[in-house]
């Protein structure tokens, strides 16, 4: 098993839900971003989602768009994001890292070269939001062949006819987008999310992790109670955008993780 499967096996054995955090690689600069990422496991993060900055992040709200712009302005690139993973792996060979982003930078790097570099750096999974299942030959299947999980998003508009296609080559976990819209746009309600999670879990043995709009420990607990875990991104990125210190950001993350783990 890879790191993601190992992580969920351990959490299941401990009777705990997963807490997944998102940060944008290179925001506000390489050194600060790396130091925050290094501190995430100690703050209770089970899986790290590392954002790959891109000029046209269509699925992201203003908070993450601005984070990407700051990272790009600071010189962050795909190669530097992979180096960030290598630097992290020098001290942590256990915590799963999922790179989340868009296909254009990967395509420009070259798919085969990217997958080789990602595997060597220590990337465990990919979330590429602008590649639908119909394009699995482009990146999904080659990634799976290299032992890199390809994590697919399901949304409130993914109906029963579409769901099998979405799940077809998904591995690692299923990321359920709790609201219709962009990241950080609204707060999810567990009563609305629960039947959707149950519908997905009836069709797959993969863990279902819920994200978008979770901002507080209470919300993290409420969502984790009805899923296999939760993701927080925009709220953490906003703390960094507000100039909070590394320790203050990690304290904020710790509270969210404790909320999810108390579910």
Q: Which residues are marked as active site?
A: 49, 60
Residue 126 pairs in a beta bridge with 99, 150
Cα–Cα distance for residue pair 113/187, rounded to 1 Å: 39
Distance CA 81, CA 85 (A): 7
Dist CA 117 CA 138 (whole Å): 17
């Amino acid at each position: 098993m890879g790191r993601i499967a190992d992580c969920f096996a351990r959490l299941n054995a401990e009777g705990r839900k997963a807490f997944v955090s998102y940060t944008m690689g290179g925001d506000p600069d390489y050194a600060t971003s790396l130091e925050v990422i290094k501190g995430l496991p100690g703050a209770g993060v089970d899986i790290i989602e590392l954002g790959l900055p891109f000029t046209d992040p269509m699925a992201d709200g203003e908070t993450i768009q601005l984070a990407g712009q700051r990272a790009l302005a600071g010189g962050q690139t795909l190669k530097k994001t992979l180096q960030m993973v290598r630097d992290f792996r020098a001290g942590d060979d256990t915590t799963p890292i999922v790179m989340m982003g868009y296909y254009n930078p990967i395509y420009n790097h070259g798919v085969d070269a990217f997958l080789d570099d990602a595997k060597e750096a220590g990337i465990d999974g990919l979330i590429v939001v602008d590649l639908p299942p119909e394009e699995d030959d482009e990146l999904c299947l080659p990634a799976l062949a290299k032992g890199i999980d390809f994590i697919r998003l399901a949304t409130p508009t993914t109906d029963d006819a579409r769901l099998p296609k979405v799940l077809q080559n998904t591995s690692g976990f299923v990321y359920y987008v709790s609201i219709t819209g962009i990241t950080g746009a609204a707060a999810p309600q567990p009563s609305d999310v629960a039947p959707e999670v149950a519908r997905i879990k009836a069709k797959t043995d993969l863990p279902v992790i819920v994200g978008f709009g979770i901002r507080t420990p209470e919300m993290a607990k409420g969502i984790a109670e009805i899923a296999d875990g939760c993701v927080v991104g925009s709220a953490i990125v906003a703390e960094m955008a507000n100039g909070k210190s590394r320790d203050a950001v990690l304290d904020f993350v710790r509270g969210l993780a404790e909320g999810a783990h108390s579910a």
